[in-house]
Amino acid sequence: MSPLSRIPGIVTTDHVFRVPLDHGDPSGEAIKVFAREVVAAGRENDELPWLLYLQGGPGGKANRPLGRDGWLDRALDDHRVLLLDQRGTGRSTPANRQTLARRGDARRQADYLAHFRADSIVRDAELIRRQLLGEDGKWSLLGQSFGGFCTLTYLSLAPEGLREAFVTGGLAGLRRSADEVYRAAYPRVARKNAGHYARFPQDVAAVRRIAAHLIDRPAALPDGGELTVEAFQALGMMLGSGTGSYVLHYLLEEAWVEGPDGPELSDAFLAGAHAHLSFAVGPLYAVLHESIYGQRSVDAGGTEWSAERVRKEFPEFDAAAALATDEPVLFTGEMIYPWMFETDPSLRPLRETAQLLAERTDWPDLYDPQRLASNQVPVYAAVYHDDMYVDTAHSLETADSVAGLRTWITNEWEHDGVRVSGRRVLDRLMRMARGEI
């Protein structure tokens, strides 16, 4: 544990824990997991209940607080908050092209990364809970997006560690295969495209022009990566956030500059595209993304590049076909494709590792439907009406399957509602928990 750090409105303490790489082999290799404790300034010596925050992802580090703002402001009214850098991310033992290369060949890397899913993250959290709160201590849990998936795993594996749970945009389908997830996702992404083009009709022509250019001449990105038309379409991941449509529009506005040989894509546009497309900061997001849906009891557990395979069922996402007609070129969403491991320099060394993970079929189940059906931990979940990232119908199906789970269904916010709403989303869920709603 490090000394206290003071930031306006908050006091933080850094913690580092050693956990088994494989919780089934506690005496084997250990890795480091970092967590930051946050408490309201002036309350650092108070006896406060703990709230564990599990962020979205997979493969994303916890937010770095700059003060008492957003959902954290509401949480600190009542709690001592623990921000966990899930294994492999942030200041935890990193997993990226640089560190994984030291583990040997792709097979060894894939076997190592097989221990980086929700079940391992939950077991890390339980070990940390016992160290901080004691064997019988309980904490509250807030899971955003993939953190909500982890919450369902927590309720399946170790509900005795939880006092209550809050989920925002993260009720996964308990028995939904990766194919089912993406079959439901592509129509949602198409709706988000329609909303964007209705908001900015001038972008139809702008996107068609860029796509036609990239089909003929893929562009070099600042890191040496390649902006192909498929990579350009992947900017649609932005459309699932509250401000993403506007950010995308402004990026498109600055796409062109007059060069010595005529119009060319501007450095500003290419730098902006790179900032949204590169996985250098979070490579595990790409490497493990489809693995979060792998379970032995569901379609034999394998994923086999599901987003790429299922995309063929939705020809409206074919840019070349759209350009041959008057149809708009559609952006894709939260999908990971095998070509990303060719166009992104931070992913290229992990191409074979990702392939082996896509072929893997022995993924253990992440959820226990029977245990969830008899759950006794109070759970309060915000379900966003047309969430681009997590299917609303799958979320409500899961809500009906978890005893003691209450939902708040809203169209006021997109998937990132807990982040962009200030205090409001978390406050609503906490008022539900306190019986005020």
Active-site option among 145, 245, 291, 401: 145
Answer whether 178's CB lies under 8 Å from 357's CB: no
Question: How far is CA 336 from each of CA 24, 307, 406, 414, 426, rounded to the nearest angstrom?
Answer: 30, 7, 32, 21, 30
Tally Cβ neighbours within 10 Å of residue 90.
Answer: 22
What is the identity of the amino acid at 85?
A: D
DSSP tag of 4 = P
What is the identity of the amino acid at 268?
A: A
Answer whether 234's CB lies under 8 Å from 192's CB: no
Active-site option among 213, 289, 394, 415: 415
Let me know if 145 is a catalytic residue: yes
Active-site option among 77, 362, 374, 385: 362
Answer whether 372's CB lies under 8 Å from 401's CB: yes
Token pair belonging to 268: 């500003």
> Which of 84, 81, 75 shows the shortest CA–CA distance to 55?
84
Instruction: Please report the sign of the dihedral spanned by the C-alpha atoms of residue 173, residue 176, residue 178, residue 183.
Output: negative
| DSSP per-residue letters across 317-376 | G-HHHHHTTTPPPPP--S---TTHHHH-TTTGGGHHHHHHHHH---PPP---HHHHHT--
DSSP-derived pairing of the beta strands 50-54 and 139-144: parallel
Burial class from Cβ neighbours inside 10 Å (0-12, 13-18, 19+) for residue 183 reads middle
Residue 5 neighbours by CB under 8 Å, 6+ apart = 11, 12, 13, 14
Let me know if 266 is a catalytic residue: no
Answer whether 379's CB lies under 8 Å from 401's CB: no
172 phi-psi bin (left φ>0, alpha ψ -120 to 50, beta other): beta
Token pair belonging to 295: 């379970």
Measured in degrees and rounded to the nearest 5, phi and psi for residue 197 equal: -70, -30
Q: Which single residue is written with the structure tokens 């990239």?
A: 214
Let me know if 124 is a catalytic residue: no
Q: Across-strand partners of 52?
A: 82, 141
Residues annotated as catalytic are 145, 362, 415
